Structure 1
Amino acid sequence: MAHLTNPLVSPEQLASSTRINEALPQSAQDLIRFSTGKLTQAAGILLRLPQSVSAQAVVLLYRYWTIEELARDEFKDISAAVIYLTAKISAHPRSLRSIANVYTYLYSSSSALASVQAQDPKSRPDPASYYLSPSSYTSFTSRILLLEGHVLNALGFGVHVALPHPLAITYLQTMDIFSAAYSKSNGPKLARRAIALLNTALLSPQMLYLTHQPNALAVAAIYLAAREEGVNLPSVEWWEVFDVEREELGFLVVAFLSLQNWCAEMGKEAIGAMRKVDIAKLAGGEVDEEAEMAMMLDEKPV
């Protein structure tokens, strides 16, 4: 059953993560995780990766950040590194060229993710804005390969990620939600809502995927989805069948509920194409002009 469980972070690791990032305000830490998680998901969509691969990449990214400082690496680079690593060990590998092209586009003025103002839907993207020169490509891939090794070293090569999404569907089938005893629309509707809740939880500031096993996350998503959709589940304490205690279920349901407003608020503040210099400005610290100039030179077409 090891393939259905994840290595969880300990309270000591969470405390250590808090200490190494104490120079950053909590709001800045949340913004980094949320924005980089969104960036990783957007890259997964453009790379046509299954949602499962993108989700695993976000989990690995958050695991890495319990060990290393949030602002240690450029956010574009660490996001690309975990996407590259996660896709490589899956059935859907992607080339460095594809990943470089996608992240160059996401950080260009043609990308809706990078644009501060709403773009005119009739306007056409400017290909020149996401042109990747040979020198920039070489620099980018060198950084990604270096970071890939660093991520593997930091995680002790523990890159297994079990997701709760398949378990949620299996649990619904076990409870006969898709059977004739329920309305034909109830099963798919409940499943869609549960999966949506699990996808949202990936960006949780409480890092739920690092502190709870997939079976508990799946049960909590089903419980909350059933309440929201008005679907009656068995009247007995069915969650105990799936090895989840009432206390843990209650905590996770409250955490899921709090995410809805939190994500809406973070969505207003999130910086899609975030750079380290943005965090330095938000935190009120000094901007490393030398590092900023080096990044600009890397991105400048040659």
Structure 2
Amino acid sequence: MAAGLKHLSNALATPDQLSNSSSSIDNVPSDLETSIRCAGAQLTQAAGVLLHLSQDIIAQAVVIFTRFWLGADGGSLRIYSVKDVSAAALYLTAKLSFQPTSPRSVLNVYTFLLSQNASPLWFVRQSGAPETPPSPETYILSEGGYQSARLVLLRTETIILRTLGFDTHVALPHTIALTYLQTLARCGSTGHSTPQCGTALTPASLCHSPTKCPRRGCHLPRVTRGGVKLVDGEWWEVFDVDREELGFLVVGMKSTEGFMRAEVNQWKNKAIPMAVDEVDAEIERRRMMEEGE
């Protein structure tokens, strides 16, 4: 690809990386790994919002976070805590952007989001945000706690960079989505509904499968949600997509809501593990249930 078009390229996960993660080698069940990584992506998104970072920075952090766990050479959930990797990925991405944020700000936000007394996140506190404001002591990071957490943050940032070979390039589909819509000559005649739908669905696709956020899937809002008439003919060929691949993309996008509902139902009575010791405890719990102990 020409150097001038490099921003259109994106490193996608290979089938081998997706099926043979370091976590799976360490005997983390695939469904548990999926739940933890999905929760980690949502944690990254929530932290970015509270830090007032732009959505493109947050989306890049989600991709960096997910890439870290890919393949046999990636990080293992039995070695690295997902909460630490999430915080480090967000801190690293913001540092490389026009909106750098301090370690203290990042760690204060994560302390709040991971608090069992104050967190509004369903996978941390199943009852949701508390009706009355909790005591600040339950979610404010002490000075000693900050110094310890800062060391972990900076060390994890280094580990992420080393694992990724210092390749932090991420190509997001948001702007390319509009280009595709203009190629279809629909922006001017359909109003704003189609572009808004496209930009609304791309963050959801990141949480469901951030490693495969495809450029060619940016036009799928029209396919998955009716109401706009497309041009006649095999328009998908403009995007180098065959009909079968288009079908898989449609199914993937439409499955996001059902996937999240299943996750909420599966974990409605307990928190998703966010630390190494919690992952080990969940694996042991499952083992004991299987053996009837």
Which residue of structure 2 aligns with residue 177 of structure 1? 186
| Distance across 1 between alignment mates of 2:111 and 2:128 | 19
What is the CA–CA distance in structure 2 between the aligned matches of 1:19 and 1:275, rounded to whole Å? 13
In the superposition, the TM-score normalised over structure 1's length comes to: 0.82
2:202 pairs with 194, 198, 202, which one?
198
| Structure 2, unpaired ranges of 5+ | 287-293
Report the alpha carbon displacement of residue 211 of structure 1 after superposing the two structures with TM. 4.0
Query: Residue 211 of structure 2 corresponds to which residue in structure 1?
Result: 210
Q: CA deviation at 1:281?
A: 3.1
Of 15-24 and 35-44, more deviation after overlay is shown by 15-24
Distance 1:85 1:236 in 2: 45
Aligned match of 2:53 in 49, 52, 64? Answer: 49
Question: Alignment partner for residue 231 of structure 2, among 222, 234, 243?
Answer: 234
Aligned to 1:155: 164
Deviates more, 1:73-82 or 1:272-281: 272-281
Superposed CA offset, 1:57-110 (max 9, x none): 111111110022133212221110000011111111111111011011112212
1:36/1:79 contact within 8 Å kept: yes
Aligned to 2:97: 90
Aligned residue pairs total 274
What is the match of residue 146 of structure 1? Answer: 155
Corresponding residue number in structure 1 for 2:248: 251
Identity %: 38
Decide whether the 8 Å contact of 2:23 with 2:75 is kept in 1: no
Match of 1:298 in 2: none
Higher relative contact order (CA 8 A, sep 6+): 1
Partner of 2:7: 3
Counterpart CA distance in 2 for 1:120 and 1:137 is 25
Once the 2 structures are TM-superposed, how far is the Cα of residue 149 of structure 1 from its aligned partner?
A: 0.9
Give the drift of 1:174.
3.0
Using the TM superposition, give the Cα deviation of residue 40 of structure 1 relative to its aligned residue in structure 2, in angstroms.
0.6
Q: Provide, for residues 181-206 of structure 1, a one-character-per-residue CA deviation record: whole Å limited to 9, x for no partner.
A: 33xxxx322222222322211122xx
TM superposition shift of 1:16: 3.0
- State how far apart, in whole Å, the 1-side matches of 2:35 and 2:211 are: 18
1:197 and 1:221 in contact (8 A); partners too = yes
SS at match of 1:49: coil
Query: Over the residues paired in the alignment, what is the CA RMSD in angstroms?
Result: 2.3
Counterpart CA distance in 1 for 2:202 and 2:264 is 18
Q: Which amino acid aligns with 1:116?
A: Q
Which string of whole-angstrom CA distances, capped at 9 and with x for unpartnered residues, describes residues 148-175 of structure 1?
A: 1111111011110111111112222333
Instruction: Quote the offset at 1:10 in angstroms.
Output: 2.2
* Structure 1 portions without partners, runs of 5+: 287-302
How far 1:22 sits from its partner (Å)? 5.5
For 2:87 and 2:193, how far apart are their aligned partners in 1?
33
Shift of 1:272: 6.4
Structure 2 CA distance for partners of 1:116 and 1:14, relative to 1, 3 Å:
closer
In 1, Cα distance between equivalents of 2:76 and 2:25: 6
2:258 equivalent to 1:261: yes
> What is the distance in 2 between the residues matched to 1:137 and 1:77?
13
SS in 2 for 1:283: helix
Letter in 1 for 2:125: S
The answer for the alignment partner of 2:276 in structure 1 is 276
* Deviation (angstroms), 1:9: 2.2
Deviates more, 1:235-244 or 1:252-261: 235-244
Letter in 1 for 2:94: A
Aligned to 2:219: 219
> Following TM superposition, by how much is the alpha carbon of 1:119 offset from its aligned partner in structure 2, in angstroms?
4.4
C-alpha contact (below 8 Å) 1:216/1:248 kept by paired residues? no
What residue identity is the alignment partner of 1:235? D
